């Protein structure tokens, strides 16, 4: 194996590691978004009572 081949593989591995790092960050942001959405829905659920008449869809 030549040094150039090893260096090319090393660059590929480093690029893949960087890509996975970005993916992990994106998954973390997505998780935070779903947590926020869950809190919004929990607040909406708490504000609904059975006595309120259903509204017609727009």
Predicted TM-score (pTM) above 0.75: no
How far is it, in rounded angstroms, from Cα 26 to Cα 22? Answer: 6
How far is it, in rounded angstroms, from Cα 12 to Cα 5? Answer: 11
Mean pLDDT of the chain: 92
Q: Which residues contact 31 (CB under 8 A, 6 or more apart)?
A: none
The fraction of the chain above a pLDDT of 70, given in percent, is: 93
C-alpha distances (whole Å) from 56 to each of 2, 11, 28, 53 are 72, 59, 37, 9
């Amino acid at each position: 194996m030549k040094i150039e081949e090893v260096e090319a593989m090393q660059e590929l591995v480093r690029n893949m590691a960087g890509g996975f790092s970005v993916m992990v960050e994106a998954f973390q942001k997505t998780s935070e978004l779903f947590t926020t959405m869950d809190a919004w829905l929990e607040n909406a659920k708490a504000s609904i009572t059975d006595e309120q008449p259903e509204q017609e869809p727009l």
